[in-house]
């Protein structure tokens, strides 16, 4: 976090990896990279879209969205805007005018660790947005933050150019350097889940499919026919 700095040019993750991660979805990507990178679940979708792109970051003081204007200028088609704040704030940093500017620049979506407004227009426009709050409170343009520096957004460390994937489950970030590898792991996981579903439909139980049944007794799981049996065992010590 370096207030008062702007980086012009970022190194973006590979576009094919971005596409593959986007089609895998948030829960699968999160699993595929070892259960890391998931943003705070309080960041919820405004509307119901899904999106994947490369992060352009803005770091903002509370109630001040000046840096968003500068950050959007650095966006290229395929980017996602990621907005972090220096202290918790729910004001409406992003509304329909910035949305129009972002779409003109080719932005694919927006993730904010703060609030948005004009949500009726945002929903109608179809732009995918994830935010911590919906709030009409306006912001000022008085204090410098930073653009395209690494930020913490939703509790995750995001470097400009990282992959951002969002859907109805939330938002996950993947470091650009790991994107291809995670995309590969995600693909493998999807195939594995398909196999699991086939076994489920064939009548198997998940404890058997996952090999978890024997471990239950190894761990000392005690089984009782009825609750009365359990209560009797407890009374008898």
Q: Which of residues 12-51 bind a copy of itself (CB under 8 A)?
A: 25-27, 30-31, 34-38, 41, 44, 48, 50
Q: Which of 2, 106, 126, 232 binds a copy of itself (CB under 8 A)?
A: 2
Judged by CB under 8 A, the chain residues 175 through 194 that form the site for a copy of itself are 177, 181, 193
Q: How far is the CB of 142 from a copy of itself (least distance, A)?
A: 4
Q: How far is the CB of 192 from a copy of itself (least distance, A)?
A: 11
**Residue closer to a copy of itself (CB basis): 15 or 97:** 97
Q: How far is the CB of 83 from a copy of itself (least distance, A)?
A: 15
Q: How far is the CB of 193 from a copy of itself (least distance, A)?
A: 7
DSSP state of 38: B
**Residue closer to a copy of itself (CB basis): 11 or 16:** 11
Q: What is the DSSP string of 45-114?
A: EESS--EEEEEEEEEE-TTB-HHHHHHHHT--TTEEEEEEESS---SEEE-HHHHHHHHHTT--EEEESS
Q: How far is the CB of 120 from a copy of itself (least distance, A)?
A: 4
Judged by CB under 8 A, the chain residues 61 through 100 that form the site for a copy of itself are 61-64, 66, 69-70, 72-73, 86-92, 95, 97-98, 100
Q: Which of 62, 57, 88, 59 is nearest to 75 (CA)?
A: 57
**Residue closer to a copy of itself (CB basis): 18 or 119:** 119
Does 157 contact a copy of itself by CB under 8 A? Answer: yes
Q: Residue 117 has which token pair?
A: 């407004």
Judged by CB under 8 A, the chain residues 101 through 120 that form the site for a copy of itself are 101, 104, 115, 117-120
Q: Which of 131, 114, 122, 128 is nearest to 98 (CA)?
A: 122
Pairing outcome for strands 109-112 and 79-85: parallel
Q: Which of 123, 125, 187, 190 binds a copy of itself (CB under 8 A)?
A: 123
Judged by CB under 8 A, the chain residues 200 through 219 that form the site for a copy of itself are 200-201, 203, 205-207, 210, 212, 216, 219
Cross-strand pairs, 110:
81, 129
Distance CA 72, CA 57 (A): 9
Residues 6 or more apart whose CB falls under 8 angstroms from that of 59 comprise 1, 3, 67, 84, 85, 86, 145, 146, 147, 149, 151
What's the Cα-to-Cα distance from 35 to each of 16, 100, 127, 142, 167, rounded to whole Å? 22, 34, 27, 38, 17
Q: Residue 189 has which token pair?
A: 């996981």
Q: Which of 170, 176, 179, 186 binds a copy of itself (CB under 8 A)?
A: 170
**Residue closer to a copy of itself (CB basis): 16 or 229:** 229
């Amino acid at each position: 976090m370096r207030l008062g700095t702007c980086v012009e040019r970022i190194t973006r993750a590979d576009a094919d990896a971005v596409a593959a991660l986007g089609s895998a979805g948030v829960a699968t990507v999160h699993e595929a990279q070892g259960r890391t990178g998931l943003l705070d679940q309080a960041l919820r979708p405004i509307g119901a879209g899904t999106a994947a792109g490369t992060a352009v970051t803005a770091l903002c003081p509370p109630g001040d969205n000046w840096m968003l204007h500068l950050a959007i200028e650095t966006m290229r088609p395929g980017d996602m805007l990621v907005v972090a704040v220096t202290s918790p704030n729910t004001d409406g940093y992003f509304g329909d005018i910035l949305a129009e500017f972002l779409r003109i620049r080719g932005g694919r979506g927006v993730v904010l660790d703060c609030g948005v407004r004009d949500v009726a227009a945002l929903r109608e426009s179809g732009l995918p947005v994830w935010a911590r709050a919906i709030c009409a409170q306006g912001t000022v343009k008085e204090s410098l933050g930073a653009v395209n520096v690494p930020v913490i957004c939703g509790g995750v460390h995001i470097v400009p150019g990282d992959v951002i994937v969002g859907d109805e489950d939330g938002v996950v970030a993947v470091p650009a350097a790991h994107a291809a590898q995670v995309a590969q792991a995600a693909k493998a996981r999807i195939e594995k889940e398909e196999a699991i579903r086939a076994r489920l439909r064939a009548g198997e139980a998940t404890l058997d499919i996952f090999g978890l049944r024997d471990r239950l007794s190894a761990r000392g799981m005690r089984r009782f026919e009825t609750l009365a049996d359990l209560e009797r065992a407890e009374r008898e010590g």
